[in-house]
């Protein structure tokens, strides 16, 4: 059972996985269009880090030894779901609050797999430029992606200059 706080936000972890070439992994939801970072709910009696490792294995087939945690967002980053995506059943959930983990891939990218659960979340993936996921994710998650990627950029690029955000982004993306 997922954890939902008294404000109606579901605790969730997001995973930004980087390869050795400063690219990040995005994955495509099974049977759907669009792309996103691996993510998932935090269960009762589970820490955010435990949830991250569980989701990492369930969604992309990697074990803790396959990655190194290089950064974590300081706070939970919340977002509200549009009305059409709200859950009608109890417990009510108005959105998610996410703790984001930046991971470095330590193993071969060929270890990625999507078939470790009865109902896989993803059926494809690709490695992309650091800021590209913001353009690929569903509209209501853009501001969260920008906030997480911005906060973790210094760590991701080891203190050197992170690539600039695309000038073509509408300012409204960061305000959602």
Does the structure show a pLDDT above 80 at 87?
A: no
What is the predicted pLDDT for the residue at 86? 84
Give which of 94, 91, 77, 79 is closest to 138, Cα–Cα.
79
Question: Does 102 reside within a domain?
Answer: yes
Does the structure show a pLDDT above 70 at 176?
A: no
Does the structure show a pLDDT above 80 at 127?
A: yes
Question: Does 106 reside within a domain?
Answer: yes
How much is the mean pLDDT over the chain? Answer: 92
**Six-digit token string for 145:** 């992606």
The number of folded domains in the chain is: 1
Backbone φ and ψ of 162, nearest 5°: -70, 150
Bridge partners for 17 per DSSP: 103
Question: Does 112 reside within a domain?
Answer: yes
CA gap 54, 77 in Å, rounded: 20
Residue 54 CB neighbours (<10 A): 16
Residue 159: band (very low, low, confident or very high) from pLDDT cuts 50, 70, 90: confident
What is the predicted pLDDT for the residue at 89? 75
Alpha carbons within 13 A on the beta-carbon side of 162? 18
């Amino acid at each position: 059972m997922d954890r939902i706080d008294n404000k109606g936000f579901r605790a969730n972890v997001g995973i930004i996985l980087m390869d050795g070439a400063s690219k990040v992994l995005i994955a495509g939801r099974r049977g759907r269009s669009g792309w996103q970072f691996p993510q998932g709910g935090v269960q009762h009696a589970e820490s955010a880090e435990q949830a991250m490792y569980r989701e990492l294995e369930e969604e992309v087939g990697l074990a803790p030894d396959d990655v190194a945690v290089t950064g974590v967002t300081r706070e939970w980053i919340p977002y509200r779901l549009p009305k059409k995506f709200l859950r009608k059943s109890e417990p009510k959930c108005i959105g998610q609050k996410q703790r984001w983990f930046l991971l470095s891939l330590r193993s071969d990218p060929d270890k990625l797999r999507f078939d470790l659960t009865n109902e896989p979340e993803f059926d494809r993936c690709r490695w992309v430029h650091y800021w590209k996921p913001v353009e690929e994710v569903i509209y209501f998650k853009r501001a969260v992606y920008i906030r997480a990627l911005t906060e973790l950029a210094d760590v991701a690029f080891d203190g050197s200059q992170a690539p600039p955000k695309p000038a073509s982004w509408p300012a409204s993306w960061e305000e959602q």
